[in-house]
Chains A and B, each alone.
Chain A
Amino acid sequence: MPLLTVKDLHTSFFTPAGEVKAVNGVSFNLDAGKVLGIVGESGSGKSVTAYSVLQILESSGKIVSGSVVFDGQELVNSGENTMKKIRGNRISIIFQDPMTSLNPTYSVGRQLMEAILLHTDLSRAEAKKRAIEMLRLVNVNEPEKRMKQYPFEFSGGMRQRVMIAMALACEPDILIADEPTTALDVTIQAQIIDLMQDLQKKMGMAIIMITHDLGVIAQMCDEVIVMYAGSICEQGTADEIFYNPRHEYTKGLMRSIPTVSNSGERLHPIEGTPIDLLNMPQGCPFAPRCDAAMKICIEKRCKRMSINEDHMAACWLNVKSDLEAGIMISETETELVKGGVQLD
C-alpha cells in the first residue's frame, strides 16, 4: 500500500474576482522511501498541491473535493487536531525562502526544540541534545554555539540546513521540499542537494520535491509529475519523462532549456503565456499554447492515459490514430498501472 494517496484533489481560492481553481483534479501515489518530483511553472499548482496535503492553505483557500490518505488515514476533513499531530511530525515541509521561514526573534536552538518538544515526550535537556544532534547531522559547524544564535547570524545555505534539521527532527515519513534550493547559489544548491540525498539514504523518508528546475528533478527524483494550470499533464519515472516525453507541454519545457546540445542554436520556447486560472477553458488547458492542438483538444479535456507501465500522459495526441479511426477513447483507459498509480 502506498504511503500517501492523493485522489482527485480539487483546491480553490475564493477571491473577490471569483473562484481560482489552483488544483484541479490531481491524483498520485507516493511509496515509502521514494523521491517524487513535482515540476511546473509559477501558478501551475505544485505548491498548492503540497499545502493541501498538509492543509496549510491561506484562509481564502479550500479543499473543494478529493481525498488525501496518509498511512491508511483520510486527512481531508479529519480536523485540525489530527493535522497538528501529523504536521512537522510525520509529514514535514521546508519552504523556498530560508530568510523568512525562521522566526527572527527566537534563537535557532529554541525554534529547533519547539518541534521536538511538541511531538515527543522528551524533556527539555533531552530535546536540546536531540536538536544539537540534528544540527550536527546537517553539517552545521559548532552546533552548541550555533544553538544560541539568531537566524540573522546564519547565511542562506546555513538557514536552509537549519530548516532541514527542524523538518527532520521528528523523523518524518514524508518530507515535502517546496523549492528548497531556488533562493540559493549554485554551489550552495549543490551542497543542499547532496545533504538531502545523503539524509534520505540514512533516514529513509520519502521526499516530495517541488521545483521549477528540471535540473534539480533530474538529479534527485525517482518519479516525476509535470503540472500545468492545476492539473497533471504527465507522470512517470524520471527517465521516461526526460527521454520519452508524451505531452506537448513537457516536450516544450524540455526544448526551452538551454543545454549543451542546443548551444548556439535558437531555443524553441512555448509561445504565449500561461492561462488565466479564473477562466479555464473546457478543453485541455494547454491547448491555446499547443502547436499540435486538434479540435478535440479545445472541446474536451483529456484524461490521463497510460503510455506504458511507468508512464502516463493526458494528451489526445497519444491516441490520435485511434481518434481518427473512430475508436471510443474510454476503451483505452485502464484501471491501474504499476506502482499503484491510478488513472483519473
Chain B
Amino acid sequence: MTDTAKNLVEVKNLKKYFSINTGFFKSKQLKAVDDVSFSIKKGETLGLVGESGCGKTTVGRTLMQLYKPTAGSIVYDGKQIKTPSDISEFRKKAAIVFQDPYSSLNPRMTVSDIIGEPLDIHKAYENKQERRERILSLMQKVGLNSEHASRYAHEFSGGQRQRIGIARALAIRPEFVVCDEPVSALDVSIQAQVINMFDELQNDMDLTYLFIAHDILVVRHISDRIAVMYLGKLVEVADADEIYEHPLHPYTRSLMSSVPYPDPKIARENKRIVLSGDIPSPLNAPSGCPFRTRCPHAAEICAQSMPSLSEAATGHAVACHRLKEIS
C-alpha cells in the first residue's frame, strides 16, 4: 500500500446524537459521536480503539448507515452517501461483522440461510444452484465444514459462529468491511485463528477494514493505522507502530501504558500511567476537551475549547492543547 492510494472511505465531521428521555417531557442529547473525521485508504486497515461508551461502535454503525447520521458527510469511493438509493448501492459494497456471535445470528435460520440472506436481498444469483454453490464456497473460505450447511447456529461454538457471521458479511463480495469487536468474545487460541483469517481474507479479496476493538494488542497486530476515541471524539490518529511506541495524547499514553503486557519482565519494569477517576457519562460530557477531568496535564484552556485534531508529525494527528508543553 502506498501513500498515493486513494481514499475509499472519507468521513467528515460525523455527528450522531441520541435523544435520551430524562423525565416527563424532558430529553437530553447524548453525543455518542461528536465531530469525527477520518479516512481509510483502499486496502488499508484502520483500527478504532477506545473504552466502552466512547462511541466507537456508533461510528461503525453510522458509517454502515444502520443509524442515520445527525450531521456530517460520508463519502465512499468518491461519492457522497445521501439518498436511500445511495445507501442501497453502498450496502452492496460494504458489510459489517458484529461482536456477539451469539445474538447476531438468527437461531431459527440454518447456516445456509443466514449466509444466503444477503444474496437473496441483493438478488446476487441467477438460480438456486448458483446460490447453493456460492454459500458452500463461502463456508469453505471461512473454514467451515460444508456438510454443516443445514445446521442451526446453536450447534456451533463461539469461534465457528463468528466464522458464520464473517461468511455472511463476505457473501456480497464487499470491498469494505466494518469489523465491530469481532474477536472480543472469543478465547485466546480461537481469537488467533479468526485474526489470521481476517488477514488472509484481506489479501485474497482485497478488502478494506475498519477494525473496531478495545484490545490494543489485537488492534495493533491487525491495523495499518490506529485512531483513538474518547467520549465521542477522536483524540489521536497515527500509524499502528508509531502510536504504540510514541503516543502523544495524554489519554493514549495512559491507555498504552495500561495494557497488561504478557511478559513478566516488561510488566515489572513498565511504569503504568494510572488515571484517576472514571470516564464521565456522555450525557454530562465536560466542556472543552472531554479528557480534561482525568488528564494530569489539564490547564484552563482545556475547559474552554475542544482542541482540533491537527498533525503533530507526518501522518500523526493529535487533538491536545498542551501538546507542546507536555512532550
Contacts and interface: CB of A to CB of B under 8 A. Distances in A.
A256 interface: yes
A63 interface: no
A191 B192 contact: no
B195 A258 contact: yes
Interface stretch (A1-9, A79-87, A104-112, A208-216): A208-216
Nearest to A270: B189
Given A187-B258, A189-B258, A263-B241, A257 B220 contact: no
A41 B188 contact: yes
Nearest to A256: B192
A155 interface: yes
A218 interface: yes
Interface in B202-218: 214, 216-218
A185 interface: yes
Contact of A267 (B196, B216, B220): B196
Contacts of B258: 186-187, 189-190
B100 interface: no
Given A42-B187, A258-B221, A187 B264 contact: no
A242 interface: yes
Nearest to A265: B221
B145 interface: no
Contacts of B216: 186
Interface in B173-197: 187-193, 195-196
Contacts of A216: 260
A242 to B, nearest CB: 5
B278 A41 contact: no
A185 B215 CA distance: 9
Given A186-B216, A267-B195, A259 B262 contact: yes
A194 interface: yes
A129 interface: no
Interface residues of A, number: 45
B221 A267 contact: yes
B257 to A, nearest CB: 8
Interface string A263-276: 11011111101100
Contact of B262 (A194, A218, A267, A270): A218
B52 A186 contact: no
A253 interface: yes
A42 B262 CA distance: 19
Contacts of B195: 258, 267, 269
Interface string B211-248: 00010111011100000000000000000110010000
A269 B214 contact: no
Interface in B152-169: 157, 159-160
Given A185-B214, A186-B216, A269 B274 contact: no
B274 A41 contact: no
Contact of A219 (B188, B214, B222, B260): B260
A298 B90 CA distance: 52
B260 A193 contact: yes
B133 interface: no
A171 interface: no
B48 to A, nearest CB: 15
A41 B199 CA distance: 23
A186 B260 CA distance: 8
A158 interface: yes
Contacts of B214: 185-186
A61 interface: no
Nearest to B266: A218
A255 B196 CA distance: 12
A190 to B, nearest CB: 4
B192 A190 contact: no
B260 A256 contact: no
A258 B157 CA distance: 22
B259 A257 contact: no
B279 interface: yes
Contact of B259 (A186, A239, A270): A186
B261 interface: yes
B299 interface: no
B293 interface: no
Nearest to B272: A190
Nearest to B200: A266
Contact of A218 (B52, B190, B264): B264
Contacts of B265: 239
Nearest to A267: B192
Contacts of B241: 263
A180 interface: no
Contacts of B220: 258, 263
A45 interface: no
A98 interface: no
A274 B157 CA distance: 10
A185 B261 contact: no
Contact of B188 (A157, A158, A256): A256
A187 B275 contact: yes
6 contacts: A186-B255, A219-B261, A255-B192, A258-B220, A266-B196, A269-B196
- Shortest Cβ-Cβ A-B pairs, 6 listed: A215-B260, A269-B192, A258-B221, A190-B258, A185-B51, A256-B192
Interface of A: 41-42, 155, 157-158, 185-191, 193-194, 212-219, 238-239, 242, 252-260, 262-264, 266-271, 273-274
Given A252-B189, A264-B221, 20 more contacts: A190-B274, A191-B275, A213-B260, A216-B260, A218-B261, A219-B261, A219-B267, A239-B265, A253-B188, A256-B192, A258-B217, A258-B218, A259-B262, A263-B241, A267-B196, A269-B190, A269-B195, A273-B157, A273-B160, A274-B187
